[in-house]
Amino acid sequence: MDGINIAEIIQRVVIFMPAFILALVVHEYAHAWMAKRHGDTSSEWAGRLTFNPAAHIDPLGTIVFPMISVVLGSSIFFGWAKPVPIDPRQFKNYRKGLFWVAFAGPISNIILGFLAAFALVATAAYVPQTFSFFTPMLEMLKALLQISFALAIFNLIPLPPLDGSNMLLATLSYEATQKFLVIQQYSFFILIFLMISHTLEIIGVPILWLCNIAINLAAHVFPLSSAL
């Protein structure tokens, strides 16, 4: 197959997909966990209060579309997990519950990103470079670091049905909520426009900022290796 480096494609898939799936699983689990804390047990009854990837994987969103993006090396990336079922009517406090259940997903990914940064710097500092899987470990942790922060920042966009929209809805009046929800039917097209117009690339700024902060913080704990 001329022009296609199969080994390189396999390497990208092996490095990217586990990190992507882990970031999604943590994100969805956080929604389910926070919902239960605020009185909604819908996700628990649905079997979503678990770190088992099988409970959260959407065949198209978690496997097919991400794989296509990785294989093609596309700059436009699509991916998602099965939405966690949430029933806001069960919240002890509707507005507070809606806000924190939505915010739990991005926050969990930010925490995961910092953990990945610490693991990355510790690996570079203490694992011998002669170790057979030294480079793959670094690349997987770099991927987890970047994907975690990217998933967090992307989901903070106040566009239905992203988490940022529910955080905003928790602060709006009933009338403003109804007007805002009208946007939901156009969300997919708005996202497509933001992607193809490269407007969405602006979120790369806070993503890079978080990556740098996490790496620098980790470097204060572990001696930063030149391997990074």
Catalytic residues: 28
How far is the CA of 130 from the CAs of 5, 49, 66, 133, 225, in angstroms? 26, 40, 32, 9, 14
At 152 the three-state DSSP class reads helix
Give the C-alpha separation, 117 to 119, whole Å: 5
Mapping DSSP onto H, E and C, the string for 156-190 reads CCCCCCCHHHHHHHCCCCHHHHHHHHHHHHHHHHH
User: Taking every pair of C-alpha atoms in the chain, what is the biggest distance, in angstroms?
Assistant: 63
At 209 the three-state DSSP class reads helix
Q: How far apart are the first and last CA of the chain?
A: 33
Phi-psi region of 68 (alpha: psi -120 to 50; beta: other; left: phi over 0): alpha
Place of tokens 């099965």: 82
